A and B are shown apart, each in its own frame.
Chain A
């Protein structure tokens, strides 16, 4: 009894020691706006009649043009106590007379108990690859349009509720960093239990909608990333990422993502390259398109930018971005979903807070319709202007 009393007192003392020192916290608001002008996007949809009917697509040619606010985002940061920050991003999209889309991009506690150790808890941007954390926002990148498969299908930023921990080890000539996380994970298409992607449902081809407010099954998803940063003391980084989770409501079917990335910034060039392999089993939704409940996507993108000599005192950065992704059934059949994009443009930094961008996009997207022995193809070409303001 005496021993248990001592242990209780010891536990109480440890709790006392762990209590934070009181501190006042100031909330800092910053933000950005991405205003766009579509100078004329031509979209040509070609599909077999049965496919068009099943998907609800309108075939033919369509031209769209006009101004829009792609996003207006508000960031809030506060230091709750030393080495503990709360960070959040609220983004407004599809703004007309009302805001039709309001997203909590991230909201998490960031704790750095030691100089090279960090923990995050909340809705966190997944530490997968490089682009997701470092180039998602328009003010972080030179391009107007992010790689389409990553942003439109996978859903950038990939952010989910959970916890993560990372440890850096600064060495001479390189800094390895290992990150591990546990999150709710991707689930099924909203309103279904066994569909990961479904061309028959509006928005059902995009995985972005599959991350919900809660876990749709009783199994969390896990992931890890190992990267080597500051290679040779330069802004050069390579890394590999892995994600695994059971996505369906019965928690029987796995989804894995494996990726690798490289980023280098030297001699006025900046290049990012990412490769992704996505493997899904048991998808009753995409089988209608791809012909198998088990399918995989493989592809990647490259972004190359160059800091040209300034013109009239303004920094100009021309760039090229290329992307190719292919999804196929794991049973060896010939069906293929493909996404190919090529964009080129230039960014002018008018001031520290204002960027002006102009870009041309060429996109080809094809998806089979195995159920109707059909197909759908989207060809799109267009030019965009974007004004990005940070405040």
Chain B
């Protein structure tokens, strides 16, 4: 018995050290998502199931009530900053992590509204909520010549993805980059002169409060319909917005995240990706009627 302890001890020691090496090599991925949003929960569940063998996945919920508690918020940010990668699902969780985390790589999923400035860092990558393939496949054919894109600094990767989809769909693009709020009127009006319709990408500088009210007002005056990035903007009077299918978002995101974990860099191609086709275009009925657009079910669905 005593003679067996020596070799047995050596085996145990090797096993201990192997486990430590494994533990040290297994990346910690934190999934951060809206607590009560069923769509985010579905996306998070698929992502977790695809990552579980490659990473130690932890979940943290986001809720407005919790975020107003400084004790909870401090502890949450401390935990998130310790992860090797934070996967943020939805606008609010993404906005929080991009604003608070200075060094931790972040991969966001299903985002519609986000500041372009926050997306500029190379440690930020992600998958937007809207599909250029769906927009180009289902929009009126008359919009294909000179379709307008209005965006802000930081959205260049998104615009590149949109232009790549446009080439495949035979759509020509006119674009205007709005560097600051003061430049919005001139950029919007010059784009409206050239374009049959304009897709406003979701920087709060363009889609919040007075800015979007201005765009809606000009859209009506110039008879140039707007494609919005989100439901809230569509409700204000844009014609429709694109929403990708949750399962497609999760599948594409999981693939990108696994590539990120494998290469150890925060620079997959493309860094800011768009989901594939297969989602919906949620339209504002009154706005669609105003511009004489005929909804095309089943892809076009009336926004409730």
Contact = CB atoms under 8 A, between A and B. Distances in A.
Given A17-B19, A26-B82, A85-B78, A75 B5 contact: no
A23 interface: yes
- Describe B's contact surface by its main secondary structure: helix
A78 interface: yes
Given A6-B9, A352-B64, A390 B69 contact: yes
Nearest to A27: B78
A87 B77 CA distance: 12
A390 B66 CA distance: 12
Given A6-B9, A139-B70, A79 B17 contact: no
Interface stretch (A8-16, A166-174, A371-379): A8-16
A17 B16 contact: yes
B20 interface: yes
A3 B74 CA distance: 50
Given A3-B2, A16-B16, A82-B28, A390 B68 contact: yes
Interface string A79-113: 10110010101000000000000000000000000
Interface of B: 2, 5-6, 9, 12-13, 16-17, 19-20, 23-24, 28, 56, 64, 67-71, 73-75, 77-79, 81-82, 100, 102-103
Given A3-B5, A6-B6, A13-B9, A79 B71 contact: no
Nearest 5 pairs of A and B residues by beta carbon = A30-B70, A79-B82, A30-B74, A77-B74, A77-B78
B71 A137 contact: yes
A28 B78 contact: yes
Interface in A290-326: none
A9 B13 contact: yes
Contact of B81 (A10, A28, A139): A28
A82 B82 contact: yes
15 contacts: A2-B6, A6-B5, A9-B9, A21-B24, A28-B75, A28-B77, A28-B100, A30-B70, A30-B73, A31-B70, A79-B79, A79-B81, A82-B28, A87-B74, A390-B69
A341 B100 CA distance: 42
Interface in A1-48: 2-3, 6, 9-10, 13-14, 16-17, 19, 21, 23, 25-32
A26 B78 contact: yes
A14 B68 CA distance: 42
A67 interface: no
B82 A25 contact: yes
Contacts of B68: 139, 352-353, 390
A28 B12 CA distance: 39
Q: Which of B9, B70, B71, B77 has the most CB of A within 10 A?
A: B70
Given A6-B5, A28-B77, A30-B73, A13 B13 contact: yes
B203 to A, nearest CB: 21
A12 to B, nearest CB: 9
Contact of A77 (B2, B13, B16, B77): B77
Contacts of B69: 139-140, 390
A269 interface: no
A390 B19 CA distance: 43
Contacts of B20: 16-17, 19, 21
Contacts of B17: 16-17
A19 B17 CA distance: 11
Contacts of A353: 68
A19 B20 CA distance: 9
Interface string A348-388: 00001100000000000000000000000000000000000
Q: Which of A3, A26, A352 has the most CB of B within 10 A?
A: A26
Given A13-B9, A16-B17, A75 B70 contact: yes
A84 to B, nearest CB: 10
Nearest to B10: A9
A76 B74 contact: yes
A27 B100 CA distance: 12
A260 B14 CA distance: 51
Q: Which of A19, A353, A390, A391 has the most CB of B within 10 A?
A: A390
Contact of A10 (B9, B74, B77): B9
Contacts of A21: 20, 23-24
A76 B103 CA distance: 18
A27 B78 CA distance: 7
B84 to A, nearest CB: 10
